[in-house]
Amino acid sequence: MAVNARAYIDCDALTHNLQQVKNIAPNSHVMAMVKSNAYGHGVDYVVDYLTNADAFGLARLGEAERLRQLGIKKALVLVEGFLEPEELRAVEQYDLEIVIHQHWQLEALKQQPLQKPIRVWLKVDTGMHRLGVPGNQVNDILSELKNCAWVNPKIRLMTHFASADEVDSPQTIQQIKNFNDVARNINAETSLANSAGIMAWPDSHGHWVRPGLMLYGASPFIEQAPNDNSLLPAMTLTSRLIAINHVPKGGSVGYGATWQAPEDMAIGVVAIGYGDGYPRQAKNGTPVLVKGNVCPMVGRVSMDMITVDLRGYSDAKIGDTVTLWGNGLPVETIARWADTVPYTLLTGVTSRVEFLHL
């Protein structure tokens, strides 16, 4: 009996979620974010189910090279641009689009003649203060880019939101205004909205939207927000019960004896731990599903195992399937119990887990 932890990837859910993006933002092109191995879902497979996207967004040159090697012809955008001037040769070789967000990138680009024009996106800092050029410098930088013979003159403008996952955030309203003030008199395609922007801030949709987390069926919002229910989870992480122990009242379970049994009871041991990517900081009470039945986790998460309270499922037996997140148990719920966000859980599943793309 195999007891490996498994991540089942529902590829039809990816297609469904992309269609939800198009339904919510019907007038926008879609740049599907597949960075970080498609948010942990396996980019080699995921891209085949996101063919209706207009472009793919990536963070590193190596990620883009991988997709070209797979035969992907679609537009590929490096959302951090090039990280050193030498990468511009590969940008040209693999026909990539780049984001310019720093003056040094502009200067490096001007000094590196290329054989054919490349597509450039100019990132504007509208208040996140991470990447992007100040709004009052945009026109001068656009002029310099358009005077560069190896830059496609149809430059696009983009920005990124700091707090779009907070539906009452005044910062997002201000960022949209700041961006519109810059872009109003510039004839350029625009991109503002990440997943949260797509779902909750329709004024931000622009010419391009950039869905990430929502493509994988998870909500970026802490609480229920518009359109949450339209998404289907793409990853279901499972394992199995490998032991059932009968613990007397007062008996402790796991490292540090941080939890004691309130009565004589059955405890199940599940073959999954932080070595598989299950969050070590998950608290007592974090729900898991044992053969579809909700059972709370108790004791500390260890590298290879967790323990669960089986009082709510008296018919449990060794070998029962245990769902850690996915169908029937949203990854957002586990993230809240672990004081983290779904992004870290999905991208943190380790290579020890067996991936099955369905």
The pair of structure tokens assigned to 290 is 């044992």
pLDDT in tens, 163-219: 999 988 899 999 999 999 999 989 999 999 999 999 999 999 999 999 999 999 999
Give the DSSP H or E segment for 63: helix 61-69
What stretches in the chain show pLDDT beneath 70? Answer: 1-3, 224-228
Predicted local distance difference test score (pLDDT) of residue 202 = 95
Across the strands, what pairs with 97? 77
Q: Is residue 50 part of a domain?
A: yes
Same domain, residue pair 170 and 240: no
Q: Is residue 88 part of a domain?
A: yes
Predicted local distance difference test score (pLDDT) of residue 119 = 96
Same domain, residue pair 24 and 166: yes
Crossing angle (nearest 10°) for helices 138-146 and 103-110: 10
The last residue of one of the domains, among 216, 244, 259, is: 216
Q: Where are the beta strands (DSSP E) in the chain?
A: 6-9, 29-33, 55-58, 75-78, 97-100, 120-125, 133-134, 156-158, 190-191, 208-209, 235-247, 265-270, 287-290, 293-298, 306-309, 321-325, 354-357
Same domain, residue pair 67 and 141: yes
Closest Cα to residue 287, out of 266, 270, 271, 308?
308
Same domain, residue pair 93 and 28: yes
Considering the entire predicted model, what is its pTM? 0.92
Predicted local distance difference test score (pLDDT) of residue 222 = 74
Same domain, residue pair 52 and 181: yes
The CATH number of the domain holding residue 132 is 3.20.20.10
The CATH number of the domain holding residue 319 is 2.40.37.10
- The residues annotated as belonging to the active site are 35, 255
Same domain, residue pair 61 and 202: yes
How many separate domains does the chain show?
A: 2
Start-to-end C-alpha separation, the chain: 21
Same domain, residue pair 84 and 36: yes
Predicted local distance difference test score (pLDDT) of residue 4 = 81
Same domain, residue pair 113 and 246: no
Q: Which domain holds residue 211?
A: 12-216
